[in-house]
Structure 1
Amino acid sequence: MTPGKGLFISFEGIDGSGKSTQARLLAETLRGEGHEVVLTREPGGSPGAEEIRRLVLEGDADRWSPETELLLFTAARRDHLERTIRPALARGALVICDRYVDSTRVYQGVTRGDLRAAVDALHALMIGQDPDLTLLIDIDPAEGLARARARAGGEQRFEDMGLAMQARMRDAFLDLAAAAPDRFRRIEGAGGTADVAGRVRAALS
């Protein structure tokens, strides 16, 4: 990898799919191979974006309107892009991001008020940076929800929406993958962590 030739990889999937674990494992593997890797997440990934993360992922599920929520996520992404993603790519690093704009397309664009056109318009206007590769960790919605609810912590913002919402989100992610086959790779998320990690590494190769 050379300066100005960084690679941007995003991980996507429903809650409890294991994408965060797989993003971390891939980062560790690639660092072991000698690459500079920046492992980051959304919402978050920069100090300002982490503050916004607390606003949108904690508290009552209906505390924000869908439109307000979309603006908050876009503001967080813009700060993340300016302060973390673009500087890393400019120096030739490999950026691995746990969620990116496709999550906004699903959560706010499909399940939170049919705002997909607004999501795409804001992305074009304020962001303009897509991943080079998106790895979709695909898992049964019931299994994903059980995993998500077993996690400790206060970030239950979307898990609390239930199984029907998980199923809708999975379908939406699969639709995005079908519409952009050059960018997406679907990874079977069932099985052990090491098995899924092997599928991730094979997809990257």
Structure 2
Amino acid sequence: MINIVLFGPPGSGKGTQAQNLIEKFNLKQVSTGDLFRFNMKNDTELGKLAKSYIDKGELVPDQVTTDMLIDELRKPTDTNGFIFDGYPRTVAQTEALERIVKEELNDKIDICLSLIVDDQILVERLLKRGETSGRTDDSNEEIIQNRIKEYYAKTAEVAELYKQQGKYIEVNGVGGIDEISEKLFAEVEKIK
């Protein structure tokens, strides 16, 4: 199995690149954003709680995210592994993910791929996405700036943890989609 953490601030292209990695390596995506939207759309208790944080541009607390993740990993799959998109974002989530992958999948995280994009480009991308997505957190520049700041403040330690484990790889997230995908594919091929 291949278990990838795909890292990057909001608007860095994680969702797009996750899809390309899924197709290339037959992986199942576990996107916290998708989990949040599913739970919010279905008006679950976890969904209501997650929405209250997202609407303010804040990160959802670890336990809410972790509970959604465990439910998702328990669903049957015939893929070659998982790609975690948007999780972990804190040291506590990183430790939880390692434990969950070991307990639920009898496996480990192989690599953390981090998409690097300049902040101003992130803001432009998110505002543009907000025009068509209807997402309230993508249509207000102040909320976007807050999300980006929170992302950096809370995830710096996670990046450091993966660096210490020799699993952290930075990839330039600016350029053509296929060009970025090829860089990501090359890094995954190194661990296969």
TM-score by length of 2: 0.69
C-alpha distance in structure 1 between counterparts of 2:180 and 2:83, whole Å: 17
Runs of 5+ consecutive residues of structure 2 not aligned to the other structure: 102-108
Runs of 5+ consecutive residues of structure 1 not aligned to the other structure: 1-5, 32-36, 106-118
Instruction: Report the CA distance between 1:161 and its aligned residue.
Output: 2.2
Partner of 1:116: none
Instruction: Report the CA distance between 1:123 and its aligned residue.
Output: 6.5
RMSD: 3.6
C-alpha distance in structure 1 between counterparts of 2:50 and 2:114, whole Å: 23
Show the 5 A alignment for 1:23-38.
23-31=18-26, 37-38=27-28
C-alpha distance in structure 2 between counterparts of 1:168 and 1:174, whole Å: 10
Aligned length: 171
Instruction: Report the CA distance between 1:144 and its aligned residue.
Output: 0.8
C-alpha distance in structure 2 between counterparts of 1:190 and 1:93, whole Å: 28
Partner of 2:137: 156
2:120 pairs with 117, 131, 142, which one? 142
Instruction: Report the CA distance between 1:167 and its aligned residue.
Output: 5.0
Look up the SS of the partner of 1:14 in the other structure: coil
Look up the SS of the partner of 1:196 in the other structure: helix
Instruction: Report the CA distance between 1:11 and its aligned residue.
Output: 1.1
- Structure 2 CA distance for partners of 1:125 and 1:176, relative to 1, 3 Å: closer
Instruction: Report the CA distance between 1:79 and its aligned residue.
Output: 3.4
Q: Which has the higher helix share?
A: 2
Partner of 2:50: 56
TM-score by length of 1: 0.65
Deviation string 1:113-150 (CA, Å, 9 cap, x unpaired) is xxxxxx62x77579823633221111001101110111
Q: Does 1:129 align with 2:136?
A: no
Partner of 1:20: 15
Look up the SS of the partner of 1:11 in the other structure: strand
